[in-house]
Amino acid sequence: MDHRCGGLGGSAGAARSRAGRDGLARWLLLRLHRRSRPGADQHVPCGARRPGCDPRVRGAGEWVAPGCPHPALPQRGRVSTEARMSAGLNLVLVGSAALFAVGAFALVARRSAIVMLLGTQFMFAAASIAFVAFGRFGLGARNQNAGAAVSLFVGATAIAELAVGLAIAALLYREHRSFAVDADHR
């Protein structure tokens, strides 16, 4: 066991000691350079108009000082400091009302039993969206999860209604060979 290289023998210890020497030499050079030029380790904005700084070129706004390890990285994701845009309560309720209207039209049109069941499912989904929206955006709500909880119960009710409705539609088809609700009974 070689104690001079931190307990590692062979080429691993030699590589570690070489990296340590290189790092120490780099650190010493940076220290000497900073003493000769104070403030050299700071980023200088393009407003200082250094020679060769073209504002039309992307990334020209930063100048890397010799003592700096890397330039400032561009910001990823949201760059603006303004608040994120989100859908408000009004937009969600308008979408929910539109979905409810489509479901109500399908129910009132009475084309077939399957279309009527789909209409009721749309209406249940619209109600769930409205409950979640009121729970999320409700002012002064003590429990913001209440809308989601009610939405789960609405979903369970919708599934039960769909099961009963499909059973009735199957009986209707077996009796009249059609899903039409207004079929003549012969």
Name the percent of the chain lying above pLDDT 70.
52
- Who wins on pLDDT, 27 or 80? 27
| CATH 1.10.287.3510 corresponds to the domain 89-176 | yes
How far apart, in whole angstroms, are the C-alpha atoms of residue 11 and residue 6? 12
At 168, the pLDDT band (50, 70, 90 cuts) reads confident
Q: What is the pTM of this model?
A: 0.49
The SS3 call for residue 44 is strand
Q: What is the pLDDT of residue 96?
A: 93
How far apart, in whole angstroms, are the C-alpha atoms of residue 121 and residue 165? 11
How far apart, in whole angstroms, are the C-alpha atoms of residue 17 and residue 10? 11
Q: Please say if the pLDDT value at position 2 is more than 50.
A: no
How far apart, in whole angstroms, are the C-alpha atoms of residue 111 and residue 181? 7
The SS3 call for residue 184 is coil
Domain boundaries, the chain: 3-63, 89-176
List pLDDT tens digits, range 22-57. 777 777 767 666 655 555 455 555 445 555 554 555
Q: Which residues of 6-16 are buried (b: 16+ CB within 10 A; e: fewer)?
A: eebeeeebeee
At 67, the pLDDT band (50, 70, 90 cuts) reads low
List pLDDT tens digits, range 96-152. 999 999 999 998 887 888 888 889 999 999 999 988 888 887 766 677 788 888 888
Helix (H) or strand (E) holding 45: strand 44-45
CA atoms within 13 A on the CB side of 37: 10
